[in-house]
Amino acid sequence: MKHHLLFLMVAILSCSCGNKVVQSEDVQLKTIDTYIAEVNRNSNLTSNLTEGALTDLEGFKDIGTFKYTVYFDERSRELFRIKNIEMVDETIEENYYFQNHELVYVTSAISGKWDKTMYTQGFKKAISRSNISDDEEKLLLKKAKRFKDAHYRIDD
């Protein structure tokens, strides 16, 4: 009887502490796509526009202009999207999407050609990307982190 009880306890414990179900990449991407569509439809978000000059690495010579718009919930200050436009020799437009304070999606276009996309789980690495090199991935992740930090620093 003790062996049956012990076996039953082990079986119940194994079932209750089983492995977490990991979503397939396709399911993750579809979930993110659905979220992006919801953010884009959300007319209740507050937007804040910032504009300025882009300078060379030394900070002395103007090389272009930028403007970025932050979309967030006014009450909680939660960040949902940042649209960044940089005008130098060509126009670069980037969209960064955030969910629960983490980066989930990035799009990038040069002179209107929307062909660069990246799905992420935070700021460390892409889970899927299209037409984005390793160096571009690192740059976009770094920029997204800077934009996010700047948004929340305003509250300090």
φ, ψ for residue 22 (rounded to 5)?
-95, 130
The structural domain count of the chain equals 1
In a domain, 11, yes or no: no
Residue 132, domain member (yes or no): yes
Q: Is residue 13 part of a domain?
A: no
Instruction: Write out the H or E segment, with its range, that includes residue 115.
Output: strand 113-120
Is 103 contained in some domain? Answer: yes
Residue 15 has pLDDT above 60, yes or no: no
In-domain check, residue 42: yes
For residue 16, being part of any structural domain is answered with: no
Q: Is residue 6 part of a domain?
A: no
Q: Which residues pair with 89 in a beta bridge?
A: none
Residue 132 CA neighbour count, 13 Å, CB half? 25
Q: Which domain holds residue 41?
A: 24-153
For position 79, what pLDDT does the model report?
Answer: 97
Comparing 11-15, 105-109, 122-126, 131-135, the range with the smallest average pLDDT is 11-15
pLDDT by residue (tens digit) across 57-92?
Answer: 887 888 899 999 999 999 999 999 999 999 999 999
